[in-house]
A and B are shown apart, each in its own frame.
Chain A
């Protein structure tokens, strides 16, 4: 089951290449059915997943790939992988709608779209680190042209900055994998066996900073974050939703750094916590100074990831589970925000919050969704973000009281910039009211889906935590 997940998208991408570009209807149908089929596969996994043994990999398939080097293609999911697969299914389904609004060279765009979503599935279902790396690099290969070609504003600079910085992160991770391989042979790459045969604590402590920097670059940890806001501000909505929503960086950090180098993580936790807390406040302050809607969301994303890293740094079972929960919740939220921002800038052809206004009158649904998403972002109870952030802050409080205090200050700043944004965009005199007169289903449905998910897991956090907690328990113990 898990084996075919990336290939559904990739084979469809290959099929699209053979379809004439004028046949828009067929191109869209095929893409949509690939997304639906993958989502159905994920749903099947969700329903048949044995939650009690969430720490174990399930739906495992093993293919011999390169016996000479001892690398097999093994796929399967544990509770952690399943959570991220669900995130991928939801976000790629929601971003599909805005992908269809691309007017220039839709065929190529959809090919890259499918390549990207398939690669994310691959990252989360691979049980061999080599393939985790390979699939991750494909996301870079796919998202670069999506931003450089179909983006807006300073797209080329943003795309190349992102490519070089995340590329550097990826090759540093690769270098780390070589060092792991040198220490422990091909068995190190096997994620299932890895927690049982860990390296010596000394080696772990030596290798951990390399992985922290590498995955920090990938997941825009302060001070390595500078590519993220710029790239997401220039990306087309669906690319930003996919890449910012499906956060593979924290996943890799958790899988590799926490899973393979727990002692190393403990040794460097203070540095990570400091970077996380400073990042929360710094990025929130930066968001406060932005005029463009998508830059605000970009910096807001960097700021919220700080909580994730803080949770990881505390390295206790509840804090890390909370961090994973927050990655999920924030991923959904980010997708919702970029979807709304995409609709706004598509219709008005600009991105300045001061030039919007009165959205509550001209487009009540869009405005309500934007407000709901902002409320979720600043930690209103009832949304999944609140539950997860609470989990993190409660459990980091005892370990890092000062830094947790700083993080709480970040929430204050978050409410300032989000309320300022809402005030400018939703209230006041209605500007360009006629442009919003006919909101279409493809603009509202994804928002409803994503915000509905946030509320669902906000009211029923154990729905996700029943998978996350056993998987994390296996890491931490």
Chain B
């Protein structure tokens, strides 16, 4: 044990960073290609990035089961961090396809966007492995900064600029909370490492300072997760940002926020248990109520998904409040199921937005008539987001609510159940629009082939994860086990 720790102090244990190094190599290839290859931006960059994410995923698979720390314990690898890395590497693939479809007609050099997206991915990877608050903060800032840029990427579009600016201002505030909290940790314990702060907190030294710091860092993470009362930015940013960015924001960024919350609550402050249950039960209840009620009467589909993503954060917060191994497992499963369904829905929204030229809910009238395939994929994604069996989303809700009841959180679980009935109204309202209403034009929509393939795969996965939840659940379970 001592020897490995010593080695990790002096050597950098580079083999642990295989996925990050692969991602950096891909970044280099993308940059060089942008500089030296003719028409790289329009023709190859998306494809190269897509292959790159597959390579990174392969690297994650290759490192599976490996464990250890590097950089003096700042950087840790275990099944938990690899679970998130694999998840991010796969989630970026549909986002790349969406971005290609979205930006290729709008920009001369869409390749630069892919570079920004790729930097976000690297930030997410480092975030998954951070075992020190400073590294965590830096990684989080890399992610957030790229999101500021990506949200405002359509520089001639007022909504996009507004989205970027709003996210920048409020996001900086959250970052300030975070760094202030971290500085309080440092003052109280003389270190920024997870382990050091954990020891200090559990020994009871300067408990009030550390608790104050904890609250601040939790606020900052709740901001990223778009949990009430830190949700104000979400609807405007989701609406204004380019659609692929919204998709990435509502899946990867939200997952990153929960990753940080899990690290803080279970990796650093497991002793904060009673406070955690009370605090997050209240947050979860508020988030569920607000998200679902506000989603009822939205006319812009991206805004609708912003509120729906807030309500999904509510379920995840119930999982955090429940805690325990069952709670963590269920959060990981829910994140995967929710992201899969949301990405499927956003692939439809991106394609339909391109073809219909509008993000208004009314523009989706009769979509299934014009493209039965898009309609069917949207139907499956929406039913999964509602939480209807036998789809992936149902099982996520089942696990979270069952974990909550096991822990005696009867009221949040009850609220979560009722919220499903409310969400039926707006999700099924959308299904009604795409299936029952008459389309404004009758011509069939031509969906690009890669999108068709990806939509087919993701819809099949949604169904498969509902029918056979055991493999994904056992993955989530082995990832959650690490923290106990």
Contact = CB atoms under 8 A, between A and B. Distances in A.
A binds B: yes
Interface stretch (A54-62, A131-139, A304-312): A131-139
A171 to B, nearest CB: 4
B481 to A, nearest CB: 12
B474 interface: yes
A150 B83 CA distance: 44
Contacts of B413: 175, 178
A209 to B, nearest CB: 13
Dominant SS among interface residues on chain A: helix
B37 interface: no
A378 B428 CA distance: 37
A284 to B, nearest CB: 29
Contacts of A160: 425, 428-429, 432
A167 interface: yes
B402 A181 contact: yes
A47 interface: no
A181 B405 contact: yes
Contact of A137 (B388, B469, B474): B388
B435 interface: yes
A72 B167 CA distance: 47
Q: Which of A159, A175, A182 has the most chain B CB atoms closer than 10 A to its own CB?
A: A175
Contacts of A137: 388-389, 394
A163 interface: yes
Contact of A178 (B369, B401, B435, B436): B401
Interface stretch (B197-205, B346-354, B416-424): B416-424
B414 interface: yes
Interface in B395-426: 398, 401-402, 405-406, 410, 413-414, 417-418, 420-422, 424-425
Q: Which of A68, A108, A138, A178 has the most CB of B within 10 A?
A: A178
Interface string A327-339: 0000000000000
A164 B427 CA distance: 11
B368 to A, nearest CB: 8
Q: Is the interface of B mostly helix, strand, loop or mixed?
A: helix
A175 B402 CA distance: 8
Report the contact-size class of chain A (Cβ under 8 Å from the partner).
20 to 34
Contact of A66 (B410, B421, B425, B469): B469
Nearest to A180: B405
Interface stretch (A81-89, A141-149, A190-198, A458-466): A141-149
A68 B473 contact: yes
B431 interface: yes
**Which of B379, B431, B477 lies at the interface centre, i.e. has the most chain A CB atoms within 10 A of its CB?**
B431
A138 B401 contact: no
Contacts of B1: none
A179 B428 contact: no
B371 to A, nearest CB: 13
A323 to B, nearest CB: 28
Nearest to A140: B388
Nearest to B469: A66
Contacts of A108: 372
Nearest to B474: A68
B442 interface: no
A174 interface: yes
Interface string B363-392: 000000100100010010001000011100
B470 interface: yes
B425 A164 contact: yes
A163 B421 CA distance: 8
A76 B413 CA distance: 31
Contacts of B424: 163-164, 167
Nearest to A134: B389
Contacts of B369: 105
Given A172-B417, A174-B417, A148 B470 contact: no
Given A141-B383, A167-B420, A175 B414 contact: yes
Contacts of A133: 389
Contact of A144 (B406, B428, B470): B428
Nearest to A178: B405
Contacts of B394: 134, 137
A301 to B, nearest CB: 23
A402 interface: no
A352 interface: no
A222 to B, nearest CB: 20
A138 B405 CA distance: 24
A155 B436 contact: yes
B401 A149 contact: no
A168 interface: yes
A140 B431 CA distance: 13
Nearest to B423: A167
A67 B401 CA distance: 19
Contacts of A141: 383, 388
B77 to A, nearest CB: 25
A65 B395 CA distance: 13
Given A133-B389, A140-B388, A66 B470 contact: yes
Given A160-B429, A167-B421, A168-B421, A174 B401 contact: yes
Nearest to A104: B369
Contact of B431 (A105, A148, A164): A148
B390 A134 contact: yes
Interface string A17-59: 1000000000000000000000000000000000000000000
Interface string A375-393: 0000000000000000000
Contacts of A270: none
A156 interface: yes
Nearest to A183: B405
B421 to A, nearest CB: 4
A133 B398 CA distance: 11
B408 to A, nearest CB: 8
Contacts of A168: 418, 421
Contacts of B432: 148-149, 156, 159-160
Contacts of A105: 369
Contacts of A172: 417-418
Contacts of B405: 175, 178-179, 181-182
13 contacts: A66-B470, A138-B389, A144-B428, A148-B428, A156-B432, A159-B428, A163-B428, A164-B424, A164-B425, A171-B418, A175-B401, A175-B414, A178-B401
Interface of B: 369, 372, 376, 379, 383, 388-390, 394, 398, 401-402, 405-406, 410, 413-414, 417-418, 420-422, 424-425, 428-429, 431-432, 435-436, 469-470, 473-474, 477
Given A141-B388, A178-B413, 9 more contacts: A17-B376, A67-B470, A145-B431, A148-B435, A155-B436, A164-B424, A174-B401, A175-B401, A179-B405
